[in-house]
Structure 1
Amino acid sequence: MKIGTYKGHVIAVFLRDEHCPPHVHVAGKEWNARFRFGFLDGQVELWDVDPERRRPPVAILEGIRQTLMQPACLDRARKTWWEKLQTVCLENQSWDWLADEVVPGLALRRGVYVIAGAYHDVAGRRTILDLVDAPDRVEILL
């Protein structure tokens, strides 16, 4: 599903056989790149380029990344990922209540709770985390 474009390069979320982490695909004439995005903040990062020897100029990759970081484009990517894949890829990780951040894996210590369920509220532009035995759920405004 097309999310946006940058200088003729289509930025898309694939809907078949996709996997975590959330990401988009961009195809060049002789290369393919993937950029990761998330449901916790507005950051986007280059994941990989294949084949590496055909990597496009840094300016092209950075332009694509900046395009994807624009709120409208990132909202479309999140909406498409969530509606088609029904995951934000945070289940079975941990949430540090005091640090207000995700801790990779299952951390067993005071103030850290397992993420039992994670959801994206498209209309509300937020991510909701249901935590095991926590005082409340977490809502992250995007």
Structure 2
Amino acid sequence: MEKVFGLKKRVKHNSKSGFTFLEVILSILIIAIVAMYLATSIPASLLIIQETENISKATDLAQKYFENVKYDLSDTGQYDDAEAGTDPPIDITNDITNNGYFNVTTNVSNLASESIGGNTVITLKQLDVTFSKTGYSSPLVKLSTEIARPRN
């Protein structure tokens, strides 16, 4: 009770001043729906992040492999040993496969040839490299590069 102008005034309690049971249940339901959405989206996001990291790592390793092959094939004899339909004569080492984490396949294709000194020689080759996770059949990365015959 409170006093107004020296008189006691009765204050009525408003029955609508709190939350009803229905409002509490609806709030809990909304929070549960949001929590379920977050619970399913976070693991999916983590899988996407892992896949992106694998693709990035495989791309970096493929670039490193290309540089090794280009360096080794800069010798004419090595270049001629890399025949179409075969693997290049460059070893795929553990640092390229990330210690066996990736399965690496390669292929050499002939793109151009010309006559040099009366002999037809291949002057341009294509090297294809495919990286996949070990134990999986679908490739993560497929890259190609062209390698010209070195001039002696």
Q: TM-score, normalised by structure 1?
A: 0.30
Larger gyration radius, structure 1 or structure 2: 2
Structure whose residues are more often helix by fraction: 2
Q: TM-score, normalised by structure 2?
A: 0.29
Structure whose residues are more often strand by fraction: 1
